[in-house]
Amino acid sequence: MVMADRPGVATASAPVTALTMVGLADSMLNGLARVPFRRFWQGPGGLLDNVGQSVTRQAVRSFMGYIVGLPIEEFRSMEKVLDELCRTVIPPFIHLTDDVEVTDDEINGVPGLWVRSRASSDAFVDDDAQKKTIDGTILYLHGGGYIGTTPMMYSAFAASLCSGTGCEVFIADYRMAPEFPFPAGVHDAADVYRGLLERGVDADHLVIAGDSGGGGLATSLVTYLSEIGAPRPAALALFSPEVDLDLDHPSITDNAKTDILPWNVPVTPYLHGVSPDDTRVSMTKAEPDARWFPPTFVTWGADEMFRDPIREFVETLRAADIEVMSLEERGMFHVFPILMPWAESSHEVYRELDEFVDRHVTPDPAAVPTH
């Protein structure tokens, strides 16, 4: 279920949606036409990485710049069209490249997608003795600044996580702003977490992960779970997390020219009157409890707008004696492992994450698929 399919969510008419898609294509083509005039071959990596980075940065920047100015009903309709396109294209592709399956499910009333190895599935392996062991379960909270994107748009990245870590991945389709501001998304994520435990997943084999706004939501979820007395997850994995909604750090303006994010990052729709200094939404303001906060993996780009708050977040965890594996990549922008999976910097992130998960998630020989 995408946001456009939820009751009470306004959408645009078919003609307006068509015009919105035409406008998006025009914006992206216009942006890409500028790439040859911006020394696209220069950068910290090899020639192919530099070219790929320049093209990706401009394409995503053009996309972001266009969508933040749309009326919400047009945004939701466009999001639905893009989700349907991804649903057609991505699953067959990742079946070939990562040998995974993608299936819909609902956990405690929250829809989402399972991404898991076909070698561990009843649909592809009849003999239980021949099935691949599930090493753990990842609850993934997708990015989108708390307002947009869908689980299917993240299925290719989830397939990479699945292949590398040996874990099955559930991408939660949590409610988003402005229709459902804070704390709706946190409550949905908590419902999924509890639902996974009810299905037999041991907290010692459960990893919470997320990127961008989903990364910020993951930290809010960890705080909320501690408040309600839920079992602690085995680990937390974050990719360019949005951990401070004040947006007042120097890198927010200093890196605006090198990042993919729009200069006017929207946070008001999500906060809906809640102070950006509230520790429930800005982890940099919190005092995490080392007795409960899980070991944490964090990666980000040195050229991204969220660089400084992420650095502060990492230091906050270390000051509280919480184990942190941090990886800042020179010359990289926001969520680069997702947008540039072919880059050497992304490969390094995948390798470090796989080792981190191996250290903190002990495979359960008795684990069975949770869907």
Average pLDDT, the chain: 91
Q: How does residue 124 score in pLDDT terms, banded at 50, 70 and 90?
A: very low
Does the structure show a pLDDT above 60 at 128? Answer: no
CA dist 371 and 368 (Å) reads: 9
Percent of the chain with pLDDT over 70: 90
> Which range (86-100, 113-127, 174-188, 264-278) has the least confidence?
113-127
* Mean local confidence (pLDDT), 49-66: 85
15 is a domain residue: no
- Among left, alpha and beta (phi > 0; psi -120 to 50; other), residue 231 is beta
CA dist 156 and 91 (Å) reads: 8
358: nearest Cα among 240, 247, 220, 234: 234
pLDDT for the residue numbered 362: 78
pLDDT for the residue numbered 33: 87
pLDDT for the residue numbered 253: 96
pLDDT for the residue numbered 28: 92
Q: How does residue 52 score in pLDDT terms, banded at 50, 70 and 90?
A: confident
pLDDT for the residue numbered 51: 73
pLDDT digits (tens, 9 = 90+) for 67-87: 999 999 999 999 999 999 999
CA dist 121 and 85 (Å) reads: 26
169 is a domain residue: yes
CA dist 197 and 324 (Å) reads: 25
- Tell me the chain's radius of gyration from C-alpha atoms: 20
67: nearest Cα among 210, 241, 266: 266
* Mean local confidence (pLDDT), 291-302: 96
pLDDT digits (tens, 9 = 90+) for 248-269: 999 999 999 999 999 889 999 9
CA dist 44 and 22 (Å) reads: 35
144 is a domain residue: yes
pLDDT for the residue numbered 43: 64
ω before 341 within 30° of 0 (cis)?
no
Does the structure show a pLDDT above 80 at 370? Answer: no
* 295 neighbors 264 (Cβ within 8 angstroms): no
Structure token pair of residue 353:
């994450």
CA dist 217 and 281 (Å) reads: 8
* 282 neighbors 245 (Cβ within 8 angstroms): yes
* Mean local confidence (pLDDT), 14-23: 98
* Mean local confidence (pLDDT), 339-354: 95
Q: How does residue 130 score in pLDDT terms, banded at 50, 70 and 90?
A: very low
Q: How does residue 125 score in pLDDT terms, banded at 50, 70 and 90?
A: very low
pLDDT for the residue numbered 44: 62
Q: What is the DSSP letter of 43?
A: S
174: nearest Cα among 111, 216, 115, 84: 111
153 is a domain residue: yes
- Among left, alpha and beta (phi > 0; psi -120 to 50; other), residue 211 is beta
Q: Where are the beta strands (DSSP E) in 32-123?
A: 100-107, 110-117
* 320 neighbors 293 (Cβ within 8 angstroms): yes
pLDDT for the residue numbered 365: 60
Q: Where are the beta strands (DSSP E) in the chain?
A: 100-107, 110-117, 136-141, 167-172, 206-211, 235-239, 296-301, 324-329
> Which range (128-132, 267-271, 303-307, 348-352) has the least confidence?
128-132
pLDDT for the residue numbered 111: 98
Range(s) of the domain holding residue 228: 92-360
Structure token pair of residue 313:
């977040």
pLDDT for the residue numbered 41: 53
- Three state DSSP letters for 146-169: CCCCCHHHHHHHHHHHHHHHCEEE
217 is a domain residue: yes
Q: How does residue 195 score in pLDDT terms, banded at 50, 70 and 90?
A: very high
Beta bridge partners of 328: 300
CA dist 177 and 180 (Å) reads: 5
Q: How many residues does the chain have?
A: 371
pLDDT for the residue numbered 97: 80
For strand 206-211 and strand 296-301, is the pairing parallel, antiparallel, or unpaired? unpaired
Does the structure show a pLDDT above 70 at 299? Answer: yes
Q: How does residue 132 score in pLDDT terms, banded at 50, 70 and 90?
A: low
Residue 48 to residues 157, 252, 345, Cα–Cα distance (Å): 21, 28, 13
* Mean local confidence (pLDDT), 51-69: 88
Number of structural domains in the chain: 1
365 is a domain residue: no
Structure token pair of residue 324:
């942190």
Q: How does residue 93 score in pLDDT terms, banded at 50, 70 and 90?
A: confident
Q: Domain holding 194: CATH number? A: 3.40.50.1820
pLDDT digits (tens, 9 = 90+) for 228-250: 999 999 999 999 999 999 999 99
40 is a domain residue: no
350 is a domain residue: yes
> Which range (50-64, 149-163, 218-232) has the least confidence?
50-64
Question: Whose structure tokens read 């008001």?
Answer: 268
